[in-house]
Amino acid sequence: MEKLRSFIFAVIASAAAAYVPAARGDSPPAGYHPVFATSLSPDQKRLAVARGDTVWVFDVQSAERPVSAKLSTPGEMVFSLSWSPDGKWLASGGAGKVRVWDVAGGKASIELNGLAGRVGALAFTKDSSVLLAGDEGSVRQWRVSDGTALPQWTAHGDSVLAIELIGDGAVLATAGGDKLVKLWERESGKLVATLEGHAAQVTALAVSPDGKHLASGGADREVRVWDLSTKEKGESLPPHPAGVSDLAWLNGEKVLTACEDGSVRVAVVGKERRFERTLPAASDALYALALSADGKTAYAGGHDGEVYAWSVEKSAAEKKLAFAAEPSGAPSPPGSLSFVNDVLPVLSKAGCNAGACHAKPMGQSGFRLSVFAYDPRSDHRAIVKEIRGRRVTPNAPEESLLLRKPTMAVDHGGGRRLKKASDAYATLVRWVREGMPYGPTGTPTLVGVEVSPKEQRYTKGAAQPLRVTAKYSDASTRDVTALSDFSSNEKSVATVDETGVVKVADVPGEAVIVARYMGMVDVSRVTVPADDLLPDAFYASLPANNFIDRHIHERLKVLGLSPSDGCTDAEFLRRASLDATGKLPSPEQARAFLADDSPRKREKLIDQLLSDPAWADHWAGKWADLLRPNPFRAGVKSVYLLDQWLRDSFRQNKPYDRFVRELITARGSTHRDGPVVVFRDKREPADIGAFVAQVFLGVRMECARCHHHPNEKWSQEDFYQLAAFFAPLKRKGQGISAPISGEAEFVWFAPGGGVSHPVTGETMKPKAPDGPADAIDAARDPREALASWMTRPDNPFFARAAVNRVWAELMGRGIVHPVDDFRASNPPTNGPLLDALAKDFADHGYDLKHLVRTIMRSRAYQRSSLPNERNVADSRNFSRWYRRRPAAEVLLDAVSDVTGVRERLPGGTPDGRAVQMWNYRQESDFLDAFSRPNASADPPCERDGAGSVVQALHLMNSNRLVSKIADSTGQAAALAASKKTEKEIVEELYLLAYSRPPTEEELSIAATAFSQPGATRQSATEDVMWALINSAEFVFNH
Amino acid sequence: MPDPCCNCEGTPRRDFLKLGLGGLVGLGFVDLLRGRARASDTPGAVDPRAAGGARAQGVNCILIWLDGGPSHYETFDPKPDAPEGVRGELKPIPTAVPGVHFCEAIPKLASVADKFTVIRSVCHKDPNHGGGNHYMMTGAPTPVPVGCGAFVTFHPSFGSVVSWKRGVRDGIPAYVSMPEMSRSGGPNFLGGKHAPFVIKGSPNSKGFRVRDVSLPAEIAAGRELGRRQLQQSLDRLKRFADAAAEDPAVDFDSHYRQALGLVTSKSAQEAFDISKEPDEVREMYGRNDFGQRLLLARRLVEAGVSFVTCYSGGWDHHTKLFESYKGSKVAELDRGLSALIVDLDRRGLLDSTLVFCLGEFGRTPKVNKDAGRDHWPHAMSILAAGAGTPRGYVLGATDAKGYHASQDIHSPEDFAATLYVKMGIDPNQHLYANASRPVQLVSGGTPIRELFA
């Protein structure tokens, strides 16, 4: 006894001042007693189990495996166990201390204090003379006989999660939360080797029977086997389905592993590296495994506090070990918190599960939450069970990593996310103290949120607090304003702070405030009317050519805007030609149109342009940007065929609904049936669904692929139900791999094949977003049903999305912008206009030419691009026509037309036009400079209208352009050689480039080119041509 | 000795405080730092936001891309003690760094190894050219499997990001690629403005000119001035000065002005003209296209280009590898790359110029039946120099036979984060891709601490 006492004091005296957690916590909550460690005694007769704050010892010789001893440490959880090889001692590791129990003699324990945090690993040397312990970073050791502290050292930058002695104990291996395994000389603490390779915390170690290999298991789901002599990694096992908590060698070639999903496996290591068999699983996460020396019986315990037993040879479960008269896991007391309804909202508001932090695909620092809390069960597991529950400390809740990290009580890369004196913090503390319940079954689920006020007119500078109410399945409600996230889609009109207070700025307009709570969204509309409105009579007197103008004028009235004047005939001619046919008008056409004084000449011109064959290539190209795959992924031949089908469809002016139906329901061969190629390029139902939604419904459902859509009502269910239409497709033939073009691939409908919800695993039935829930005959291609739904006159998306695209092409901006982003939080700038256009389109058989004609006939299309004082700041209400640069191919063709020299692109015809090119890969500096889509990107490929210095450099200095201008067969040469006067030459150049004659002043300036010293007719003509091409009036459609 | 209670930046750290002073027994301070640097939740061993600061904004990058996957065995990571059939036919040679050996195929680089770092322990899992290209050029793996022949872009490339961050200075393109853009070297959602300015052609040939950046040679100077004056007088389309009107013609003017500035800047024009370089310098780099491109790259970064990719194809040696590595292609690499590093150093540019040389992956340990090696992403070597990269340093190691990276293992994300931090760009920042979805510039990469000397 004297020895023990001096042992204690010696140890206490020698312990360095270090972090000492709360010496004693409260009792753990009822029902919370996970098994963190199991250990079989050396004589195989006893099994020690660390369960909650008690160590149980079972007599496993006897068939009933009764309890033979119970060592309680009330309020102190036990995290690790180890028997001394001589069977005399059982060491248990707690929080900040290690106890050494004399089980045989039933003596009181010896306590070794001064360790830092959880003691997650214990080991005795082979001769039982030394006990080692690993805590939250260091390895410590003591001589057992007299308690002398032996060398201790910092082993890892994070917790030590396992210790194994190797051979005679001269060397030991440690596994750390810092993803490393390290080998040390035990006596000196010298580092022998670092074994790197795990991608997450390493939780388990085991030395092979022959002492030559070390197996390590980690939270990265991997088991790696290391050669102890070369320190090299051997073959790893295939990944387990969940983190590997513990493992043991069955014999020289096999290991037994226990996982965080409760599964237990026998695996063959070495060259074979495969799973051999799975034992019947435990009902909850397993944390600790013990295997009898003869390899016949395995025991494991985990989160539910049970100890499972198996006959390994028979792969059969045996009776669970019985704890004396223990109440089984107590149900959550009434009134306890719900993880989903109470805890997750706190974490969400604090930003823990933001896509930038723990909700990254790989999590952050090994801790992963689902983004927008779409997978609460997985989040609960991550917080409560991963890595032996190290993130929560229910018997001392404020010690939990879950609470220390966000309050910066320890270093946290994410900074301070919670204040200690807050409701949020208190909620988390209470939840941990309650034992981290998930919540009883029957907990009401969130069904929606409502913002108030839903819409309101504001005066400039006003402020308004919003209130967000959550609604649950049991009709209860809760004010969740403090836990909601807010954003404004139009910060220049109104902003909103994180408490939901809207502040209105000082410009008139409209804004939408989005409130988001736990995956549900609602919007509040803000309208700030203009101060000085114009009288109704003003708008009534504005010329209106059709319904488009009436709707636009209504909108301008609300905002107090006045429209610009009409454009000139020359402007209209050039604009309409470029928009309808992608071509500049010829000088003859220009002269004729400008000279014509019939009152309906613009309408006649529109009709002429729409019947020009050039319409087809120009407009097909716009859909090619959206549909045509990367030929270096899908194959050159097949992409060409799709392109030809597109052009042909536009040549026929195929009604748009038929066009889309043909595409969506395509089947056949990629080397024969163009539209099939879309299904070659996009192979996953989820990819196809997202694509169809974006391109044809104008809805970016892609966000809902992984979680609830952050800004709209779409759920993952909606997303995968849409994807389900494309699940029963079979493919055969040349897959996506090198060589790329190779043979054909066939795509056809075949019943079977489904899509599962990624979280619930439920097989999704095909259902369109907001569409009917009718069952679809499984023997019929569901894509037909989708196409029918899409093209129904009352479909809310299809026609609107289509007219919006065409509107954007002609008017410079969609009524909804971006054109494929329809959502409640991104409303159209003119809803009635959009609706009217959609209805008109559907009523006229989805005829694209009719739509274009209608828009071009409107006054809105025929406005000048020059602003007036009132509308100078308007860029979305169509008070004037918005300038833009034409697409790269159109501009290149325009240059070719003006210079009179065609571009001759590889794969094209000698007199072909750039708009006829069927892939983006043909080399062309010009097209690249003017933002032709990157050939390696996947469709839809948006074009970039921005300018750049490279464009300017190219126009200015390109050798190609210079030679085209100077070409002997070109326009300049022809003009120079002709009999025209200098002024006539200039006039011709103006008509070519600008579709208008020059003014007197311009004529005289341009004519000076001819009288420059050293100038010839040829060189002067070239110079004027160059000057016109290098001007904004040429480069822009204005 | 710095206060052991704090890390280099002086802030106390949780893990250290816990361990107490007693924890220092038996460990060198450097090991301690290394240990801490590896701790998974050591916040910012290198603070991405602070690293370099203003100085890093002035760092330019030359990236030499060896397309096909150069063999680590036959370049920077020879394994003479590996079994026959793995070690290959070439021998190791000592380098200017004691204890470090390279393959005999690159003697010049060996002789200047004391100027750069070799990273031997970057690895990944994508054995396809399409995927490997993407991973090592953008720092992001492809989200879907892609075939070997695929040219894909799912994330902006390094050069495009730098272009986006730095913008055009005085009309000089921010991002140049020669003689072509690499497979995944494009801007993706950053837009066409940040596509590379491609300089095609053969800088070694007489009369080589960089396209578009100089006035066309055919047009005499006087005439050039004349036509420009004509253009200025004739360009009559009205511009709207009011910024709220968002007039694209105003942008057009600004770009045009910058372009004009470039064209009339003597120093920029000289920079683009490789014939201005003295013959002995041109010889030093090697009178071949690869070497001359590196020289041109040096001139371009001197002129203010922020990122230059020098693309070299044909490194996919599935057959006759040893023959090839003894041949002119590797000799050109050896000569040109060592010349670039020496040249940058003696001109005092190495501190502000980051140089990388890499390919998609390494090559298989087991030599195949055609005396070649196949694709192998588990081990690869990267040369890194300049902008504070340590001199004469080897970072990490592969195992004894060259199969796997085994020490100081880093991912392509770590490499990307390092590149960005060295150039003053925060790798953790979010960009907004097409669907307004936040995309992290580098997802899950930590700058490699050892490369920030």
**C-alpha distance from A186 to closest chain B C-alpha (Å):** 11
Please list every residue in chain B whose beta carbon sits closer than 8 Å to the beta carbon of residue A1031.
231, 234-237
pLDDT value at residue A333: 62
What's the start-to-end Cα distance of chain A, in Å? 100
pTM given for the model: 0.83
Cβ separation A948–B192 shorter than 8 A = yes
List own/partner pairs for B227-234 with CB under 8 A and 24 or more apart.
B227/A1009, B227/A1023, B227/A1026, B227/A1027, B228/B260, B230/A1005, B230/A1006, B230/A1008, B230/A1009, B230/A1023, B230/A1024, B230/A1027, B231/A1026, B231/A1027, B231/A1030, B231/A1031, B233/A1005, B234/A1002, B234/A1005, B234/A1006, B234/A1024, B234/A1027, B234/A1028, B234/A1031
Instruction: Compute, in degrees rounded to 10, the torsion defined by CA atoms A852, A856, A860, A862.
Output: 150
- Residue A625, chain B, CB below 8 Å: the answer is no
- Distance between CA B429 and CA B426 in Å, rounded? 6
pLDDT value at residue A272: 86
- Residue B186, chain A, CB below 8 Å: the answer is yes
Cβ separation B23–A154 shorter than 8 A = yes
Question: For B171, left (φ over 0), alpha (ψ -120 to 50), or beta?
Answer: left
Task: Give A432's contacts (C-beta < 8 A, 6+ positions apart).
Answer: A392, A393, A394, A397, A400, A402, A403
**Are B121 and B395 spatial neighbours (Cβ–Cβ below 8 Å)?**
yes
Please list every residue in chain B whose beta carbon sits closer than 8 Å to the beta carbon of residue A932.
192
Is the pLDDT reported for residue A812 higher than 90?
A: yes
- Residue A332, chain B, CB below 8 Å: the answer is no
pLDDT value at residue A809: 97
pLDDT value at residue A2: 52
pLDDT value at residue A349: 92
Which residue, B269, B249, B272, is CA-closest to B261?
A: B269
- Residue B146, chain A, CB below 8 Å: the answer is yes
**Which of A115, A154, A741, A1025 should one mutate to test binding to chain B, selecting the residue with the greatest count of B CBs within 10 A?**
A154
ipTM: 0.83
Eight-class DSSP state of A746: E
Task: Give A868's contacts (C-beta < 8 A, 6+ positions apart).
Answer: A562, A564, A565, A880
- Residue B17, chain A, CB below 8 Å: the answer is yes
Cβ separation A953–B13 shorter than 8 A = no
pLDDT value at residue A938: 79
- Residue A233, chain B, CB below 8 Å: the answer is yes
- Distance between CA B382 and CA B63 in Å, rounded? 11
Q: What are phi and psi of A567, to 5 degrees?
A: -85, 165
pLDDT value at residue A336: 79
- Distance between CA A167 and CA B286 in Å, rounded? 58
For B258, which residue in chain A has the nearest alpha carbon?
A: A949
Eight-class DSSP state of A253: S
Is the pLDDT reported for residue B5 higher than 60?
A: no
- Buried b vs exposed e over A553-571: b needs ≥16 C-beta within 10 Å? bebbbbbebbbbeebebbb
Is the pLDDT reported for residue A5 higher than 70?
A: no
- Residue A185, chain B, CB below 8 Å: the answer is no
Please list every residue in chain A whose beta carbon sits closer than 8 Å to the beta carbon of residue B246.
875
- Residue A595, chain B, CB below 8 Å: the answer is no
For A884, which residue in chain B has the nearest alpha carbon?
A: B248
For B228, which residue in chain A has the nearest alpha carbon?
A: A1027
Q: How many CA atoms are closer than 13 Å to the CA of A196, on its beta-carbon side?
A: 19
- Residue A240, chain B, CB below 8 Å: the answer is no
pLDDT value at residue B16: 23
| Beta bridge pairs of residue A206 | A215
CB nearest to A158's CB, from B20, B39, B235 = B39
Over residues A549-586, the pLDDT tens digits come to: 999 999 999 888 899 999 999 999 999 999 999 999 99
For tokens 């208190």, name the residue: A426
pLDDT value at residue B12: 29
Side chain identity, residue A386? E
pLDDT value at residue B145: 76
Structure tokens at A638: 């097949």
Cβ separation A1014–B148 shorter than 8 A = no
For tokens 């982003």, name the residue: A821
**C-alpha distance from B395 to closest chain A C-alpha (Å):** 14
pLDDT value at residue B13: 28
**C-alpha distance from A30 to closest chain B C-alpha (Å):** 31
**Are B388 and B452 spatial neighbours (Cβ–Cβ below 8 Å)?**
yes
Cβ separation B25–A232 shorter than 8 A = no
Cβ separation B226–A1009 shorter than 8 A = yes
Over residues A850-904, the pLDDT tens digits come to: 999 999 999 999 999 999 988 888 888 999 999 999 999 999 999 999 999 998 8
**Are A814 and A808 spatial neighbours (Cβ–Cβ below 8 Å)?**
yes
Count of other CB atoms within 10 angstroms of residue B430: 14
- Residue A835, chain B, CB below 8 Å: the answer is no
Cβ separation A19–B149 shorter than 8 A = no
Which residue, A536, A496, A533, A534, is CA-closest to A516?
A: A496
pLDDT value at residue B82: 95
A696: three-class secondary structure by DSSP: helix
Side chain identity, residue A379? D
B301: three-class secondary structure by DSSP: helix
- Residue A887, chain B, CB below 8 Å: the answer is no
Task: State what percent of residues in chain A have pLDDT above 70.
Answer: 95
For tokens 């899908």, name the residue: A634
Structure tokens at A984: 């006539």
Cβ separation A152–B25 shorter than 8 A = yes
CB nearest to A952's CB, from B13, B18, B259 = B259
**Which of A709, A957, A1010, A1012 should one mutate to test binding to chain B, selecting the residue with the greatest count of B CBs within 10 A?**
A957
Over residues A364-392, the pLDDT tens digits come to: 888 999 988 888 999 999 999 999 999 99
CB nearest to B171's CB, from A737, A944, A949 = A949
- Residue A178, chain B, CB below 8 Å: the answer is yes
**Which of B13, B14, B264, B410 should one mutate to test binding to chain A, selecting the residue with the greatest count of A CBs within 10 A?**
B14
- Residue B205, chain A, CB below 8 Å: the answer is no
CB nearest to B244's CB, from A872, A932, A1035 = A872
Strand spans (E) along A717-801: 729-733, 745-749, 755-756, 763-764
Structure tokens at B122: 């970057």
* Across A135-144, A794-803, B90-99, B432-441, least confident range: B432-441
What DSSP line would sit under A602-663, residue for residue? HHHHHHHHHTSTHHHHHHHHHHHHHH---HHHH-HHHHHHHHHHHHHHHHTT--HHHHHHHH
Cβ separation A412–B404 shorter than 8 A = no
- Distance between CA A737 and CA A674 in Å, rounded? 20
What's the start-to-end Cα distance of chain B, in Å? 18
Eight-class DSSP state of A405: T
pLDDT value at residue A24: 53
Q: Could you tell me how many CB contacts below 8 A there are between chain A and chain B?
A: 325
Looking at per-residue pLDDT, the higher value among A802 and A717 belongs to A802
**Are A746 and A731 spatial neighbours (Cβ–Cβ below 8 Å)?**
yes
- Residue B168, chain A, CB below 8 Å: the answer is yes
Instruction: Compute, in degrees rounded to 10, the torsion defined by CA atoms A795, A796, A799, A803.
Output: 180
Name the average pLDDT for chain A. Answer: 90
For B183, which residue in chain A has the nearest alpha carbon?
A: A936
Structure tokens at A430: 């209470």
Structure tokens at A778: 């499984």
Which residue, A576, A578, A546, A541, is CA-closest to A562?
A: A541
Side chain identity, residue B292? Q
Mean pLDDT of A587-591: 97
- Buried b vs exposed e over A272-285: b needs ≥16 C-beta within 10 Å? eeeeeeebebbebb
pLDDT value at residue B2: 36
Task: State what percent of residues in chain B have pLDDT above 90.
Answer: 70
CA A1034 to chain CA centroid, Å, is: 41
- Residue B111, chain A, CB below 8 Å: the answer is no
B287: three-class secondary structure by DSSP: coil
**C-alpha distance from A867 to closest chain B C-alpha (Å):** 8
Q: What are phi and psi of A748, to 5 degrees?
A: -155, 165
Looking at per-residue pLDDT, the higher value among A189 and A919 belongs to A189
Eight-class DSSP state of A343: I
Mean pLDDT of A490-518: 90
pLDDT value at residue A55: 93
pLDDT value at residue B42: 37
Over residues B304-337, the pLDDT tens digits come to: 999 999 999 999 999 999 999 999 999 999 999 9
Element (H, E) at B60: strand B60-66
pLDDT value at residue A888: 96
Mean pLDDT of A672-690: 93
* Across A353-357, A692-696, A740-744, A952-956, least confident range: A740-744
Count of other CB atoms within 10 angstroms of residue B8: 12
Which residue, A108, A89, A88, A110, is CA-closest to A99?
A: A110
- Residue A869, chain B, CB below 8 Å: the answer is no
Please list every residue in chain A whose beta carbon sits closer than 8 Å to the beta carbon of residue B238.
866
- Residue B149, chain A, CB below 8 Å: the answer is yes
pLDDT value at residue B128: 92
Eight-class DSSP state of B23: G
For A936, which residue in chain B has the nearest alpha carbon?
A: B152
What domains sit in chain B, N to C, each tagged with a CATH number?
Answer: 16-451 (3.40.720)
What DSSP line would sit under A68-124, residue for residue? EEEEE-TT----EEEE-TTSS-EEEE-BS-EEEEETTTTEEEEEE----SB--EEEE
